[in-house]
Amino acid sequence: MEHRNLGRSGLRVSVLGLGTMLFGETGSRGASEGVARDQIDRFLDAGGTHIDTANVYAGGESESILGRALEGRRDRVSLATKVRFRMGDGPNDEGLSRRHIFASLEASLKRLKTDHVDVLYVHCWDPWTPIEETVHALDDAVRQGMVRYLGVSNFRAWQLAHARTLQNERRLQPFVAAQYQLSLVERNVDEEFLSLTRELGIGMVPWGPLGGGFLAGKYNPNEKPSEGAGRIATTPGHAEESWEKRNQVRNWHVMELVEKIAGDLNATPSQVALAYLIAREDVSTVLLGARTMAQLEDNLGATQVTLPADALTALDEASRVEARYPYRMIDTYGDRAATEANRVD
């Protein structure tokens, strides 16, 4: 499997990463420990080396499963986890304060049965804690050897830019990865983050690359999915909202194109959707979120799919988010290509 640098860092990560949000979850949307171990084994056999989790996944059980499964082979993977959300009943059991970062990190390391994680993501912006406190605490975690690299998730663009400016000015360890929802049916981050992450040398790490299963081709516009029929229909408390978000004319046009390209290349729709993200220059690794071994096997096949230039262009155009102000004006007058085309010497 191909490996790439994680942003502008020296850490090499497999182009497909194993997401573990479903590990340890109960009910139809979860993956038991046995299934999780099988997925880890298959992922490693396929040449995958990057595994992503979070302390909040299944209340810490995802980390515990990983810790047990990786005993004796921890050095084969780059391991990422996250901190931010509530992990207890106390007033300091959530957020990005120094106290919560270190308490959560120490607990994560115990569950993961390791003395360090390769990447620690801040899982979401914390409106209660000064960002100065957060970036200094993260820097200390790196300097103490508990963390190797830093990542960010679910920050607004200005929040990430502000945090990164503080890191640069104060010579603190920088964010090198940004984990956001990104797929052919969810490209809203492109408006701000595409240029931001490229400018700052931050690697994009897409989650939800199949749009909650939509891009796997398992749905149709005339039939609302039944309960348990894929990720969209099992989102706790948000199944109706998730379906309406995906059940859009534009998305069905994208899906039609994906299926046509898949047929031309003798691939599956999932593989085409993943191959599109792999082909993006700003993407370091794409996180898979398979519930079953069959899904994982299909997803791993994306590394064998090379999309022709015309297919990439067609997918990019069909899935592009309509530009809003000021992006529309910037695209016309403010970017480098437009400026060069209209320059009068």
Structure tokens at 133: 């406190």
Residues 6+ apart with CB under 8 A from 202: 7, 8, 152, 160, 164, 175, 176, 177, 178, 196
Q: What is the pLDDT of residue 107?
A: 98
Rg (CA), the chain: 20
- Are 158 and 89 in contact by the 8 Å Cβ rule? The answer is no
Residue 306: predicted pLDDT? 97
Q: In what helix (H) or strand (E) does residue 310 lie, and over which residues does it extend?
A: helix 309-319
In the block, residue with structure tokens 């993943």? 274
How many CB atoms are located within 10 Å of the residue 235 CB? Answer: 15
How far is residue 153's CA from residue 121's CA, in Å, rounded to a whole number?
7
CA 65/CA 25 separation, integer angstroms: 11
Residue 87 CA to residue 89 CA, distance in Å, equals: 7
Q: For residue 231, give the amino acid letter.
A: R
Position 200 scores a pLDDT of: 95
Residue-range domains of the chain with CATH? 3-342 (3.20.20.100)
In this predicted structure, what is the pLDDT of residue 233? 47
For the chain, list residues with pLDDT below 50.
Answer: 233-234, 237
Backbone phi and psi for residue 45, each to the nearest 5 degrees, phi listed first = -60, -30
- Long-range contacts (CB closer than 8 Å, 24 or more residues apart) made by 233-240: 234/27, 234/28, 234/29, 236/29
- Are 191 and 217 spatial neighbours (Cβ–Cβ below 8 Å)? no
Quick check: is 219 catalytic? no
With 0.75 as the threshold, say if the pTM is over it.
Answer: yes
Strand-pairing partners, residue 175, are 150
Angle between helices 61-69 and 98-112 (to 10 degrees): 40
**Which DSSP category does 185 fall into?**
T
- Marked catalytic residue, from 57, 121, 149, 276: 57
Predicted confidence at residue 82, as pLDDT, reads 98
d(CA 271, CA 262): 8
DSSP state of 23: B
Alpha carbon distance 37, 99 (integer Å): 33
Please report the pLDDT score of residue 221 as a whole number: 77
pLDDT of residue 202: 98
Q: What are phi and psi of 176, to 5 degrees?
A: -120, -5
